[in-house]
Structure 1
């Protein structure tokens, strides 16, 4: 069994055998969001319009955290591109909780075993990522996490294995009576040379808490998402994407 499969098996097994009495949930949220943009890059140097419906779930526990999302990408207009579905499931297991030792040092709050399963999308992915994650204490940020993965690629392009770094953050702030959230992720994949290029995807969202004005804070957000995607899907045959999309998100 490959090392990354052993790490994933250890992560899942450790979480499964944990006594329920020792499991404490700190936070949990589900949401559904709608995006619309007309600057999504496709093969041939063209752009297309599309709507994206996303379902998300995030939870944080004393044993670690997990994140799940599913995107439904629906092409609009005259484009011949196919509609598709893409998703990721990303659990992380706290080594501090697992060992019973506090692993805080400097700005690092915890060290975690990290895994992600990617499926579907334009590359028809079936990829397994395993590695190590760090949770950071950064002033002004609700969370700041970094993960470093080995990627076992299994996709439509027969991509060899490579490495990926993922950064996620969330920064709520207020201006007068208005509450805002600036959050997002950065993915960098190393590529392996040849047809598989190093890939950079910077994807922040800037939203206003609409629900706050009606006495229901944290329920409805509206704003924009920006996607800067160099070597999209790991190929230079697609122009660098710089897409701004309208965004509405409901939490439940």
Structure 2
């Protein structure tokens, strides 16, 4: 799961791969049928239309009166150091890709909902993972509802000290076919910490519906903190995921802190409308592949409404 609440939404791209085989004789990847791609990312494929459809449902619910708050944003990210396989059988860090992300977040009486869809190489130009050729657009999405245990059973948030609330949390990771979907479920604690607008601690069971992969666990931290650098309004936000126990996949860590300038607040657009900055993605054992590490700065533009 890669969740950042409200307009602090983040991109998430964790579909754990079981293994990848490189054709050393042919000098290229064994792709399509031979490129064995397993994941803890479970059900049928997502398409652009299905992603827009789910987003429409969320947005419709917000304006139908069931949501107490709703926000949507669209992002563009670009990086040139994504990790991949190389023809020698090792790893490289020179893939280039552009990513468009559409996110929606809303709250209601008993919890909140978050949805996003990533479109990698949306214009059909960019390096594809596991192949030396440029590839067409690829899709990935997540749906993340949470339920406040306090509001459901006690009529108010379970707040005490730095604890803001305790929630049941779930996420459905939705990659393209033939990669299967992953269902995550567990508990979340929202904390009230000085200097932060929000901070989440989420613990999940990763329910592997692929019989070749053990069910594992995941911890996800999410934070957001507005601040000023002199007169310039800025935002520091990000997430940290640690997933383990999904044998034969390796334990893996992914984090994506970002610093954004609220450009809208400096113009007539107004605050929290247009943000520009850098996201730095850190991934250890990418897709659960032993030794595939990634450190990639990404230029980012985010339009919020």
1:113·1:133 contact (CA, 8 Å) conserved in 2?
A: yes
Q: CA deviation at 1:91?
A: 0.7
The Cα offsets for residues 138-158 of structure 1, whole Å up to 9 and x where unpaired, read as: 111111011111111246x94
Change (3 A) 1:71 1:228: same
Comparing 51-60 with 101-110, which one deviates more in the overlay? 101-110
| Partner Cα distance (1:114, 1:201) in 2 | 19
User: Aligned residue pairs: how many?
Assistant: 227
1:231 counterpart = 2:231: no
| Partner Cα distance (1:226, 1:35) in 2 | 11
1:143·1:169 contact (CA, 8 Å) conserved in 2?
A: yes
SS at match of 1:31: strand
1:8 is matched with none
Q: CA deviation at 1:132?
A: 0.6
| Partner Cα distance (2:178, 2:224) in 1 | 28
2:224 is matched with 170
2:152 is matched with 98
| Partner Cα distance (2:214, 2:265) in 1 | 47
| Partner Cα distance (1:230, 1:159) in 2 | 19
Residue ranges of structure 2 left out of the alignment (5+ in a row): 1-64
| Partner Cα distance (2:271, 2:181) in 1 | 37
1:146·1:167 contact (CA, 8 Å) conserved in 2?
A: yes
1:191·1:199 contact (CA, 8 Å) conserved in 2?
A: no
1:52 is matched with 99
| Partner Cα distance (2:169, 2:197) in 1 | 20
Change (3 A) 1:123 1:186: farther
| Partner Cα distance (1:210, 1:127) in 2 | 37
Q: CA deviation at 1:90?
A: 0.7
SS at match of 2:85: coil
1:204 is matched with 257
| Partner Cα distance (2:184, 2:194) in 1 | 29
What TM-score do the two structures reach when normalised by structure 2? 0.69
2:77 is matched with 35
The Cα offsets for residues 164-188 of structure 1, whole Å up to 9 and x where unpaired, read as: 1111111001122211011111111
SS at match of 2:298: strand
Which gives a bigger RCO, structure 1 or 2 (Cα 8 Å, sep 6+)?
2
Runs of 4+ in structure 1 deviating by more than 2 angstroms, as ranges, are 23-27, 77-83, 121-125
2:109·2:151 contact (CA, 8 Å) conserved in 1?
A: yes
| Partner Cα distance (1:190, 1:175) in 2 | 38
| Partner Cα distance (2:182, 2:167) in 1 | 20
Change (3 A) 1:121 1:197: farther
Q: CA deviation at 1:237?
A: 5.2
Alignment of 1:60-139 (within 5 A): 60-74=107-121, 76=126, 79-80=132-133, 82=135, 83-102=137-156, 103-120=158-175, 124-139=179-194
1:244 counterpart = 2:297: yes
SS at match of 1:76: coil
| Partner Cα distance (1:152, 1:77) in 2 | 31
Q: CA deviation at 1:66?
A: 1.4
